[in-house]
């Protein structure tokens, strides 16, 4: 029997008769014959039909069956080899499961299903998971009992004295100056006063408390471990509430190097949570693209004092925006890659074997010859990192950063 909250959540997202019938038609439009998934599509359509019939318990059982089959396909080999059709079916299975759970009043479980669907699935017509997640988030915010908010005045690590070459700080350079002096010459630069208008730095200042209030019930992927090169490193799905609690409870001096360190790293948070997207702006410098793909890849980085990204390089232009807290960043030119001892494996070829701040010069003697730039970025700073420049990053406090990658 459907929960009394059925009409206020499910029907807020769908006209249960007409729109869900359209959703079922969308499932049938997936070319499942090419992957032999006709039975899975039929199960999903039956699950949607159960929501229309207001028998969500049946919808849950059917949806779980479809999710289990799709999950097995998504994890049967390399991610790049998984057909996008299986990912689309995972999305549709997530929609039917989320609706069934919402119809029974299980709003947090429904929201988690939406988030995992957004993380693992592929886009489908209608943007249903985003719409349902937004409705559930608002509903949970209305009905939740306020928890104590985290203390944003957490202790920081000691002040850091930079070594190496200094990085020039320039106040909001023109596009022409940026392109000619830094981008074309492959020279790093810190740009100041270019983010003063961001709501995240002005009218809606970001903090742990703000993130918890805005999206605390959302589920995100979290790195667990000191650095991704460690054997004990892993990933987990956590709600933002749980993630922030883990940051708040650990004194900063105990975080660095711990195998239990939690870090939301290189996550396209603003695609998953578009309601946060209006808090930031794409810097104008990202329009200087050499390709037809003019939209940069936007990643969020949120964590406690002591999180580390080992020395590595990426193939993109990178404008790295510091929003909350401070980070130490060290840069090496790609011209000195032979001094930085990249890993031999194809998967880790863009990562150095050297612990940047504590190098083993017995094993890596040439590392001492590599010149480097070093800086501490602060709230409001934009650091331009040229393509294939090696960079090492360590947070000196609780930190929120946003990177903009383009080619």
User: pLDDT tens digits, residue range 178-228?
Assistant: 999 999 999 999 999 999 999 999 999 999 999 999 999 999 999 999 889
The structure tokens listed for 48 are: 């949607």
For 268: left if phi > 0, alpha if psi spans -120 to 50, otherwise beta; the answer is beta
Percent of the chain surpassing pLDDT 70 = 91
Q: Domains of the chain: which residue ranges?
A: 6-143, 169-406
Is residue 70 within 8 Å of 90, Cβ to Cβ? yes
According to the model, what pLDDT value does residue 27 have?
96
Q: Count other Cβ atoms within 10 Å, centred on residue 372.
A: 18
Residue 13 has pLDDT above 60, yes or no: yes
- Mean pLDDT (whole number) for 301-309: 95
HSE of 94, CA atoms in CB hemisphere, 13 A? 28
CATH tag for 169-406 (out of 3.90.45.10, 2.60.120.650, 3.40.50.970, 2.40.50.110): 2.60.120.650
User: pLDDT tens digits, residue range 243-290?
Assistant: 999 988 655 554 555 557 999 999 999 999 999 999 999 999 999 987
- Mean pLDDT (whole number) for 235-250: 90
User: pLDDT tens digits, residue range 83-140?
Assistant: 999 999 999 999 999 999 999 999 999 999 999 999 999 999 988 999 999 999 999 9
Given pLDDT bands bounded at 50, 70 and 90, which one contains residue 339?
Answer: very high
Contacts of 39 (CB under 8 A, 6+ apart): none
According to the model, what pLDDT value does residue 29 have?
92
Contacts of 37 (CB under 8 A, 6+ apart): 85, 86, 89
Strand order in the sheet with 382-385: 169-171, 189-192, 382-385, 317-324, 399-406, 297-303, 262-267, 219-224, 234-239
Residue 158 has pLDDT above 90, yes or no: no
State the average pLDDT for the chain.
Answer: 91
The structure tokens listed for 236 are: 């987990």
Nearest to 380 by CA among 325, 296, 333, 323: 323
Q: Would you give the end-to-end CA distance of the chain in angstroms?
A: 53
Given pLDDT bands bounded at 50, 70 and 90, which one contains residue 160?
Answer: confident
Contacts of 328 (CB under 8 A, 6+ apart): 160, 162, 374, 375, 376, 393, 394, 395, 396
Given pLDDT bands bounded at 50, 70 and 90, which one contains residue 294?
Answer: confident
Is residue 206 within 8 Å of 214, Cβ to Cβ? no
Given pLDDT bands bounded at 50, 70 and 90, which one contains residue 22?
Answer: confident
**What is the H or E stretch that residue 210 is in?**
helix 208-215
According to the model, what pLDDT value does residue 2 have?
47
């Amino acid at each position: 029997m459907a929960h009394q909250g059925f009409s206020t959540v499910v029907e807020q997202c769908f006209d249960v008769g007409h729109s869900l019938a359209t959703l079922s038609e969308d499932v049938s439009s997936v070319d499942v014959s090419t992957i032999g998934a006709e039975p899975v599509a039929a199960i999903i359509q039956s699950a949607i039909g159960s929501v229309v019939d207001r028998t969500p318990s049946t919808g849950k059982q059917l949806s779980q069956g479809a999710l289990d089959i799709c999950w097995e396909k998504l994890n049967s080999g390399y991610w790049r080899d998984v057909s996008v059709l299986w990912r689309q079916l995972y999305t549709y299975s997530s929609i039917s499961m989320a609706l069934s759970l919402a119809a029974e009043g299980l709003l947090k479980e429904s929201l988690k299903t939406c988030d995992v669907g957004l993380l693992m699935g592929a886009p489908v017509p209608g943007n249903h998971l985003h719409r349902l997640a937004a409705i559930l988030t608002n509903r949970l915010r209305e009905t939740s009992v306020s928890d104590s908010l985290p203390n944003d005045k957490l202790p920081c690590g000691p002040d850091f004295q930079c070594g190496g070459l200094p990085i020039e700080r320039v106040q909001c350079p023109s596009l022409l100056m940026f392109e000619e002096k830094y981008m074309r010459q492959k020279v790093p630069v810190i740009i100041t006063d270019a983010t003063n208008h961001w709501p995240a730095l002005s009218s809606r200042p970001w903090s742990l408390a703000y993130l918890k209030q805005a999206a605390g019930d959302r589920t995100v992927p979290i790195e667990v471990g000191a650095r991704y090169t460690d054997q004990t490193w892993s990933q987990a799905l956590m709600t933002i509430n749980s993630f922030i609690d883990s940051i708040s409870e650990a004194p900063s001096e105990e975080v660095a190097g711990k195998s239990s360190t939690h870090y939301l790293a290189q996550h396209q948070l603003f695609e998953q949570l578009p309601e946060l997207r209006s808090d930031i702006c794409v810097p104008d410098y990202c329009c200087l693209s050499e390709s037809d793909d003019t939209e940069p890849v936007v990643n969020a980085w949120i964590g406690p004092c002591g999180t580390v990204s080992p020395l590595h390089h990426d193939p993109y232009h990178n404008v790295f925006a510091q929003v909350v807290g401070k980070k130490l960043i060290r840069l090496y030119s790609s011209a000195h890659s032979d001094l930085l001892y990249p890993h031999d494996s194809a998967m880790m070829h863009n990562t150095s074997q050297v612990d940047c701040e504590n190098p083993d010069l017995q094993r890596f003697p040439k590392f001492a010859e590599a010149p480097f730039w070093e800086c501490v970025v602060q709230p409001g700073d934009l650091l331009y990192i040229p393509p294939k420049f090696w960079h090492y990053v360590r947070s000196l406090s609780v930190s929120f950063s946003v990177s903009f990658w383009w080619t």
